[in-house]
Each structure stands twice: as C-alpha cells, then as structure tokens.
Amino acid sequence: MEIIAFIAIILIASILQTSTGFGFSILATPFLLFLFEPHEAIQINLILSLIISSALIMKIRQDIDFEIIRRFVAGSIIGLPIGIIIFLLMDINRLKLGVSLIILVLTIMLILQFRMNQNKKRDLLVGGLSGSLTTSIGMPGPPLLLYFSGTNTQKEKLRATALAFYLFIYFVSLLIQVIFAGTNKTIWVSSLSALPLVFVGLYLGQQLFKLINQHVFRIFTYIILLFTGIYLLVESLGLL
C-alpha cells in the first residue's frame, strides 16, 4: 500500500510541477510526511524537485524574468538559515499549522480579487519567505505562487521564473539540510527509484500545460492552494 501511495504521490506531483511550475513540493511534501520521517520527506522532495527544474529549464529559459530572480535570490539568502533553525527547533506540527493558516488566508484574498503591484521590496520579501519555507518544510512554492497570482503574472513567466529560482533554492536548501539534519540511504534510494515516475510526469505535464489557458490556470492554482492549506491544517491538528 505504501508503494502504491508513493507512486501516486510522485507521479501526480511531477505532472503538476511540470505544468504549473510549483506543484511538486506543495502536493508531495504533505503526503510524503505520512511515509517518511520529516527530514527524509523534505530531502526526497528537494532532490526530485531539483531534477525536474533542471530537466525543464533549458526549454523555457526565454520566459524567465532574470531581474526578479536576482531579487528572489538576494532575499532567500536571509530566509534560508532562518528556515533551518525553525526546522531544528520547532515542532513540525506547529510549523505545518502556521503555514496552513497563512496559505488559506492569502488564497482567500486572491479568490476575492485581491491584487498587488510588484516592486523590488516585495520581490526580496517573497524570496526570503520562500527560502525559509524551503529549508524548514521543503515548500518554496506558496509565496511565489501567491505573489505571482496577485500580480496577474502570465502563466509562461510564472512557470519559467519559478523553476529558475527553484534551481538555486533547492540546491542550497538540500546542502543545508544534509549538513545540519543529516541524510541516509533511504532518502537516496527512494529518490532514485522515483526517477522513472518523474520522467513520465515531465512528459504528461508538458502536454497538460499546452491545453490550459490563463483562466483555467488561475482556477487550478486556487484549488491546489486550498487543498494544501486545508490538508496541512487538518494534519497538524491530528485529525488524520
């Protein structure tokens, strides 16, 4: 049963990551926490997300906004060490509770047509939040997704810019996790066994991306965020 669950998690999350630019960590991490220890689930997520981003980036590099990337990276330099400190010191359920509430509140604001203007300070802040969430729970996606959705960013630019930033944030976060939390054979064997599923997801996700327009893409975004927020909330309260 655990093997079937693992296959389903990796395949569906890979499809979402490829088609949206943010789906893997948001969907995979909460469910992987059911199957693995927290540091194992986070590191498996980081390894596979890094592979997906590396495989896709050359095909979509023309849509990357490099100015935003530079500010995201600058902000993440502050957020990354904060995240690993939170991971090492805070109870994982409290952390998931806090993240779930933030995701749900911000998603509701977006559904109610809350909009914001992009600027340099907000780019730095989003980069910092994304960095702290990556090293703490392996989920850099929510801040980027909420920010890009709130600024009406086109889906091509959203996907490409997010994936480019992930190349940096996942690699650095994985190094920090390995150094401070340690690693083990289970993490690397599980990641290696998941590679065929990831490559199938890459192909299917690319096909899906071609079929969805901007309006459907935005609705898809809200559904994923609401699902993740509710799931993390319920899990952190011990109702699952």
Predicted confidence band of residue 3 (pLDDT cuts 50, 70, 90): confident
What would the two tokens of residue 119 be?
A: 């600027």
- Residue 191: what pLDDT? 93
| Burial bucket for residue 136 (CB in 10 Å: 0-12, 13-18, 19+) | buried
8 Å CB contact between 75 and 124? yes
The residue length of the chain stands at: 240
* pLDDT tens profile 64-93: 888 888 999 999 999 999 988 888 887 777
DSSP letter, residue 237: T
d(CA 155, CA 22): 11
- Residue 190: what pLDDT? 93
Residues 6+ positions from 79 with CB-CB distance below 8 Å:
127, 128, 129, 130, 131, 132, 133, 134, 135
Closest by alpha carbon to 171, among 138, 202, 142, 201? 138
DSSP letter, residue 159: H
- Residue 73: what pLDDT? 93
* pLDDT tens profile 41-52: 889 988 998 888
8 Å CB contact between 162 and 148? yes
Predicted confidence band of residue 23 (pLDDT cuts 50, 70, 90): low
The average confidence (pLDDT) of the chain is: 82
* pLDDT tens profile 85-133: 888 887 777 877 877 887 788 778 778 877 777 888 888 999 999 889 8
- Containing domain of residue 118, as a range? 2-236
Cα torsion 45, 46, 50, 56 to 10°: value is: 40
The number of folded domains in the chain is: 1
